[in-house]
Structure 1
Amino acid sequence: MTEDTAQPTPRRKTISSPYIHRLQRRHFLLFDVLPIIGTAAAFAFLLVRPFGVLELALLFLMWLVTGLGVTVGYHRLFTHRTFKAAPWVAELLAVLGSMAGQGGVLSWVALHRRHHEYSDREGDPHSPNLSGGGLAGAIRGLAHAHFLWMRRHEYPNIVHYAPDLIKDRRLVRVARLYYYWVALGLLVPAVLGGVLSMSWTGAVSGLLWGGFVRIFVLEHIVWAINSFLHMFGTRPYESRENSHNGGIFALVTLGESWHNNHHAFPESPSFGLDWYRLDPGYWLIRLFAACGLASELKVPSQARMSAKRIA
C-alpha cells in the first residue's frame, strides 16, 4: 500500500496500562475509601465535640457548593455544553467540582461522555445492567455501578472524548491542580471550623464534617444515580438505555435525579424540564443567565418533548 492510499490509524477510544491502573487504585483509596474512614472518625469524634450548628452548617455549605460544581460545572457545562458561561464562572465551577474529589474535570468529562455513548451496553464504564440476570446479577451490577468500577477500568482517551476541553488553557490549568483543589476543599472547612469556634476541636470537627463526611455524602448521591437510577424509577421519555427518574430525590441530588429526562435530552441545561420539577442546578444556571453570566441555554421545545413522551 502506498503512502497516498494508506488509511490513518483510528484514534484509540480507551487506554489501559499498569501505570493508569496504579493511578486509579490510588485515587480509589484516597477519595473513595478514605472518606469512609473519615466519616467513621467523625462519629467517633462526637465523644470529644458534639455535632452542632457549626458542623451542620459546614457540612451543608460544602456539600452545596461542591455539588453545584459537579452538576452545573462538570456535568451540564463541560460535558454536555448545555449553556455558555463567562470564563471566570466556568473556572470557578471547575474548581468547586474538583473539590468534590470525584476526579479531575477532563477525566470526569471523558468518562461521562463515554457513558452516554455506550450507556447500558458493553463499553459503559458503570452500567448496573451488564452483570447477569436474576437477583445475584442485579446485586453484582449495583455494586459495580455504585462503587467497585472505580478500582480499575479502561481509561477514556481525553484526546478522543474531550478535544474541545483540552483547547481551553484555563480549564487545563485547573485540571492539572486537581489534588490541590481537593486539599483546599478539606482545608476550608477546617479553617472555618477553627476560626468560628476559636478551638482546635472546631478545626478537627470542620475537617471531618465539612471535609470527609461531605465528600462521602456527595459521592454516594452521585453514584446512586449511576447505579439505582439505571434500574429503578419512572421513564416518561424514550431513551435507548435504561435510565429512570427518581423525583423524590430531586433536591438532595440538585436536580440530577431527573435522569431519564437527562438521557432523553442531554443537551438541555434543565433536567427537570418542567417548572414544577425541582432542579436546583438549573435554578443556578438561570440565575447566572439573569446576571448576564450565562447564555445559549438549550432547553428542548414542548413539541420535541411531546414527541418523545411515552408516559
Structure 2
Amino acid sequence: MQTNTQASAPKKAPLIWLNVLVFSITFAVAAIGVPLYALTIGISAGVWWAALGLFIYSGLSITAGYHRLWSHRTYDAHWTVRLIFALGGALALQNSALHWSSDHREHHKHVDHDDNDPYSASRGFWYSHIGWMLREYQPDKYYDYNNVKDMQRDKIVMWQHKHYLALTLLMNIGVPILIGVLTGQIIASLLVAGFLRLVVNHHTTFFINSLAHIWGKRPFTERNSARDNGVLAFFTFGEGYHNFHHIFSGDYRNGIRWYQYDPTKWLIRGMSYVGLANNLKRASDYQIEKARMDVMWSRLQERRQTTAEWMQHEYDALMEKTKAYYMSRKKLLDAKTQEIKDQVSHSALVEQYRDMKRSFRVERRRWKRMVRAAL
C-alpha cells in the first residue's frame, strides 16, 4: 500500500493577491520607472520636495496617529488632528486605523509568539517585514475588531474605515496629480510623490516590525526581541527606540532622552502647547530606572552563573593537578625510602616529580589570579 506524502505535507496559506500585486507593482515602478523617467525626461526639484513632504506627512500620521494616538492611547487629540492623521494614514496605504491598531495590539499582547503575534519576529525577517501580509496565515484572528472597541466610538476612525478605499485613491492618486498640475509634471509626480514615496513609507514602517526586533540593544527588557536602535529611529520618526516602547507602550515618547531623535514625540508635545493634544501619558522615572536596573541585575546573575560554572571546571582541573603532584611526590619518597626501582628508575621518578611540581605551581598561580579577579 502506497502512502500519499503530498496529502500529509502542510499546505501553504493562500496568497492575498491584492497585497501581492500592490507591493510588487509599486516596488517595480519605484525601482525601474522612476530612474528611467529621471534619466530620459527629468524630474523637477519641486516634485522631489513635494514627495518628501508627503513622506513626512504620511509617516507621522502612522507614528503619531495610528500608533501612539489610536493603538496605545498615549494622548488625546483634537478632532482636526485626528482628521489630518486619518487622511495621512490613507496616504500611507497601510490599512485603516481600526484594522492597523487591531493587528498592532495583538502584536503587543503576544509579541514573539508565533501562533498569536501577527508579525512575529521569531518567524524570521521576511515574515515579520512583509511576508505576513502576503498570505492569509490567520484569516479569522485579526478581523473582528474586538480589541479596538474603544476606537469604534471615534467617529473619524469609523468614517475613515468605512470610506478607506476612496480615501486611499484620493490621497495616493488625486494628491500626486494635483502636485503634478502645480509643478507641470503630472507623470513625474505620480512616479515620485505617488509610487516611490509610497514604497519608502511602506518599508521604513515595516522595518519596525522586522529589523527593530533584530538589530540594536535591549536596555529596558529582555523578555522580548524588541530593540533600541538610533539609526532606525532616524528613518522612522523616532520609532526605532523599540525596546523601551515594548515595555512602556503607554508612554507617548519612544526616545526618552532629550538628545534621542524622536520627532513624533516633539510633534505631540508641540501640539499640546497649542491645545491640539492633551493628557500626554508618561511612564514614571522610577519604573524606567527600575526596568534598566532589572536588566543589568539579570545580566549580572547570568554572568555570575556562567563564571561559577567556568570556575568549577577550572577548580576541578586544579584538583586533578594537585592530586597528580602529591601522588608523584609520594611515589618519589617511597622510591627513596624503599629503593623501589623495579619498574621505573630513580632518575625518571625525579624528573616526573619535577614536571608535576612545575605544572602544579603554574596551575595554582593561575587559579589564584582568577579567583582574585572574580572577587
TM bucket, shorter chain: 0.7 to 0.9
Q: Structure 1: which amino acid aligns with 2:78?
A: A
**Match of residue 35 from structure 1:** 26
Q: Structure 1 residues 183 and 114, CA, compared in 2 at 3 Å: closer, same or farther?
A: same
**Match of residue 49 from structure 1:** 41
Identity of aligned residues (%): 30
For residue 212 of structure 1, the aligned residue among 176, 195, 204 is 195
Asked if 2 retains the 8 angstrom alpha-carbon contact of 1:237 and 1:308, the reply is: yes
For residue 193 of structure 1, the aligned residue among 180, 202, 207 is 180
1:123-138 correspondence to structure 2 within 5 Å: 123-130=116-123
Residues 61-108 of structure 1, C-alpha deviations (whole Å, 9 max, x = no match): 010000010000000000000000012211221221121011111110
2:65 paired with 1:73: yes
Aligned mates of 1:306, 1:52 — CA distance in 2: 50
CA RMSD of aligned residues (A): 1.8
2:150 paired with 1:164: yes
Compare 217-226 and 148-157 and name the one that shifted more: 148-157
Asked if 1 retains the 8 angstrom alpha-carbon contact of 2:98 and 2:145, the reply is: no
Asked if 2 retains the 8 angstrom alpha-carbon contact of 1:256 and 1:271, the reply is: yes
Aligned mates of 1:257, 1:246 — CA distance in 2: 5
Aligned mates of 1:28, 1:58 — CA distance in 2: 27
1:235-246 correspondence to structure 2 within 5 Å: 235-246=218-229
1:260-275 correspondence to structure 2 within 5 Å: 260-275=243-258
**Cα deviation, residue 170, structure 1:** 2.5
Q: Structure 2: which amino acid aligns with 1:189?
A: P
Asked if 1 retains the 8 angstrom alpha-carbon contact of 2:69 and 2:75, the reply is: yes
Q: How many residues align?
A: 276
Q: Secondary structure at the match of 1:156?
A: coil
Asked if 2 retains the 8 angstrom alpha-carbon contact of 1:190 and 1:210, the reply is: no
| Deviation beyond 6 Å, 4+ runs, structure 1 | none
Q: Structure 1: which amino acid aligns with 2:266?
A: W
Aligned mates of 1:203, 1:305 — CA distance in 2: 50
**Match of residue 266 from structure 2:** 283
Q: Structure 1 residues 76 and 113, CA, compared in 2 at 3 Å: closer, same or farther?
A: same
Residues 159-204 of structure 1, C-alpha deviations (whole Å, 9 max, x = no match): 31111112223310111111222222222122212322x3xxx111
2:109 paired with 1:117: yes
Residues 232-271 of structure 1, C-alpha deviations (whole Å, 9 max, x = no match): 2111101521100111232221001111111011001100
Q: Structure 2: which amino acid aligns with 1:180?
A: A
RCO comparison, higher one (Cα < 8 Å, 6+): 1
**Match of residue 12 from structure 1:** none
**Match of residue 61 from structure 1:** 53
Aligned mates of 1:42, 1:121 — CA distance in 2: 39
**Cα deviation, residue 25, structure 1:** 2.9
**Match of residue 106 from structure 1:** 98
2:277 paired with 1:308: no
Residues 109-165 of structure 1, C-alpha deviations (whole Å, 9 max, x = no match): 0000011111001211112213xxxxxxxxxx1111111110123241443111111
Compare 64-73 and 94-103 and name the one that shifted more: 94-103
Residues 191-244 of structure 1, C-alpha deviations (whole Å, 9 max, x = no match): 212322x3xxx1111111111101100111111111111112111101521100
Aligned mates of 1:104, 1:29 — CA distance in 2: 19
2:206 paired with 1:223: yes
Aligned mates of 1:54, 1:234 — CA distance in 2: 39
**Match of residue 11 from structure 2:** none
Asked if 2 retains the 8 angstrom alpha-carbon contact of 1:38 and 1:208, the reply is: yes
Larger radius of gyration: 2
**Match of residue 95 from structure 1:** 87
The normalised TM-score by structure 2 is 0.70
Q: What 5-or-longer segments of structure 1 have no aligned partner? A: 1-20, 131-140
**Match of residue 11 from structure 1:** none
Q: Structure 1: which amino acid aligns with 2:150?
A: D
Asked if 2 retains the 8 angstrom alpha-carbon contact of 1:239 and 1:264, the reply is: no
Aligned mates of 2:209, 2:117 — CA distance in 1: 11
